[in-house]
Amino acid sequence: MSEQVDYDIHRVLKALPHRYPMLLVDRVRSIELGERIHAVKGVTMNEEFFQGHFPGAPIMPGVMQIEAMAQAAAILGIETLELAGTGKLVFFMGIEGAKFRKPVTPGCLLDLEVEFTQKRSRVYKFAGKASVEGTVHSEAEFTAMIADPPAN
């Protein structure tokens, strides 16, 4: 059963180590621990990548859309395993089947819907979609691993 939640930015910051300019999740609308998450990214003209991608015709890079989905997946994993505040990180291991269907532009509210597709001890597979007003703009399947941060 999906828990209706409203993780504001403060709770998102507790779950993720990412910070500006790489934080790409602004809010969590709902989460079903161990299953799925619906998060949101408000896309604004203030994003650093719009200065170069593309001047005069700003489009959110596809890789940033996938990163936003991955950050939503990281919140799902961290919250499911109750690892918030432990210092554990979620690392990308692979991306498959990425498709970019429509451009994402400033002013969009990007809905990030991600679900677990496979779970093994520390390695997880996810399927994600990024939508604007109910229309899928991008999607991908990706693999991630939960681990300690690298030693300095």
CA nearest neighbour of 113 among 92, 134, 98, 99: 134
Domain membership flag for residue 152: no
């994993």: which residue's tokens?
77
Its pTM stands at 0.94
Domain membership flag for residue 68: yes
Domain membership flag for residue 92: yes
Q: Which domain holds residue 100?
A: 3-147
Domain membership flag for residue 14: yes
Strand order in the sheet with 135-147: 3-7, 27-32, 36-42, 109-119, 123-132, 135-147, 89-100
Of 1-5, 18-22, 133-137, 140-144, the least confident: 1-5
Overall domain count for the chain: 1
Domain membership flag for residue 54: yes
CATH classification of the domain holding 115: 3.10.129.10
Q: Which residues contact 102 (CB under 8 A, 6 or more apart)?
A: 132, 135, 136, 137
Give yes or no for a contact between 74 and 90, defined as CB atoms under 8 angstroms apart: yes
Active site (annotated) includes residue 53: yes
pLDDT over threshold 60, residue 42: yes
Condensed to tens digits (0 to 9), the pLDDT of residues 51-77 reads 999 999 999 999 999 999 999 999 999
First-to-last C-alpha distance (Å) of the chain = 41
Domain membership flag for residue 86: yes
Residue 64 is predicted with a pLDDT of 98
**Token code pair at residue 79:** 């919250």
Task: Name the active-site residue from 10, 18, 53, 137.
Answer: 53
